[in-house]
Structure 1
Amino acid sequence: MTDLVRVIYRKFDGSLHWNLTMRRLGEDRHGVWLGAPAFTPLSKGHQPIDPLPHAYVCLVPADPEAWWAATFNAEPRSTEIYVDVTTPMRWNSAAEATCVDLDLDVVRKRGETEARLLDEDEFAEHGKLFGYPPDVVARASGAARWLMTAVAAGTEPFGTAYLPWLAMVA
């Protein structure tokens, strides 16, 4: 098993979206935890962007049918939890995981309990543009509803389960 994992988010048309290489930190009942220290190189499409000045960890869910991938940010980032609604993350190899970003995001700001749903307009727009099939719309919408409840309630892994993993890279 490799220490480094290439994480690739694509859009529904197959175009490259967010992508970066992270370190495999370990695995627990929630899934595989990947870490990025502050200033880890990051690209959007084929263009490198300014690296984020804070550490973060990503969780590839253990459930192979989970329609999400979560990022947990270290301070001083104001967004503590950022969950992308995606197609289920697939392991192409031990060194590469990929999914399709379906635009919807569920976030929780640091110090708050409220969850926020972002980019519903983008989801609707891309649904028309890319022709999201009805089952994709239903699965993504269902995942967003579940995430809104789970993140707000602090249901694990959205409670404290990520903290030891984040401490490994922060």
Structure 2
Amino acid sequence: MVYRKFDEKLHWHQWMRYLGEDSYGVWLGAPGGAVSQRGDEPEVTQEQAHVQLFPRGKWFTAIFNDEPRYTEIYADITTPVEFSDDVVTMIDLDLDVIKRRDGTVFIDDEDEFAEHQVKYGYPADVIATARQTCDWLVGAVSAEEPFLSAYKAYLDKVR
């Protein structure tokens, strides 16, 4: 799993296990103790298991964290995922929709999104689609599948 920024620089990347595909997209997972890395920074060990959804043709990806992690769902606004061989890759467009275990939902990194619109020259259609997707996710993470329970069977597979 490889996230890049708009200038193609390496962002977050991690080896994950293929768990399956359903009507929501491709599901990958990693058990507690798995490592991920941002760019060439030191590796980060993930304490809890997590699964990640990579929808086909959508402008987001979503991470579903096992308990007790305080962040239940972390959705990244991205370009549509590209699938090739055993790699999934996408461009991270900065905006994140986060749902905490207590039900709080908020948008993160709006300042970064505004800054990168100028720095990287995001096209107008990318900006509009990213914002529309973000606005939809704010409500969807608390009211729609796969954010309610569909992910739980995949999380069971990596525990």
TM-score normalised by the shorter chain: which range applies?
A: over 0.9
Q: Matches of 1:131 and 1:143 in 2, distance apart?
A: 19
Q: Matches of 2:43 and 2:65 in 1, distance apart?
A: 18
1:90 to partner: Cα distance: 0.6
Aligned to 1:96, which of 62, 87, 94? Answer: 87
Hey, what does 2:113 align to over in structure 1? 123
Count of matched residue positions in the alignment of Structure 1 and Structure 2 = 159
Deviation sequence 1:125-165 (CA, Å, 0-9, x none):
11111111111100100100111111132x00111000111
Hey, what does 1:22 align to over in structure 2? 16
1:51 to partner: Cα distance: 0.9
Considering only aligned residues, what root-mean-square deviation do their CA atoms show, in Å?
1.0
Q: Does 1:146 align with 2:136?
A: yes
**Partner amino acid, structure 2, of 1:56:** H
**Partner amino acid, structure 2, of 1:126:** H
Please tell me whether the aligned partners of residues 41 and 48 of structure 1 are also in contact (alpha carbons under 8 angstroms).
Answer: no
Q: Does 1:34 align with 2:42?
A: no
Hey, what does 1:109 align to over in structure 2? 100
Please tell me whether the aligned partners of residues 142 and 148 of structure 2 are also in contact (alpha carbons under 8 angstroms).
Answer: no
Q: Matches of 1:152 and 1:162 in 2, distance apart?
A: 13
Deviation sequence 1:50-86 (CA, Å, 0-9, x none):
211111000011x32x000000000111000000000
Q: Matches of 1:39 and 1:161 in 2, distance apart?
A: 23
1:46 to partner: Cα distance: 2.2
Secondary structure of 2:158's aligned partner: coil
1:31 to partner: Cα distance: 1.0
1:29 to partner: Cα distance: 1.2
Q: TM-score, normalised by structure 2?
A: 0.96
Q: Matches of 2:125 and 2:31 in 1, distance apart?
A: 37
Q: TM-score, normalised by structure 1?
A: 0.90
Q: Matches of 1:25 and 1:111 in 2, distance apart?
A: 27
Please tell me whether the aligned partners of residues 90 and 97 of structure 1 are also in contact (alpha carbons under 8 angstroms).
Answer: yes
Please tell me whether the aligned partners of residues 36 and 45 of structure 2 are also in contact (alpha carbons under 8 angstroms).
Answer: yes
Q: Does 1:13 align with 2:7?
A: yes
Q: Matches of 1:105 and 1:78 in 2, distance apart?
A: 16
Aligned to 1:86, which of 75, 78, 92? Answer: 78
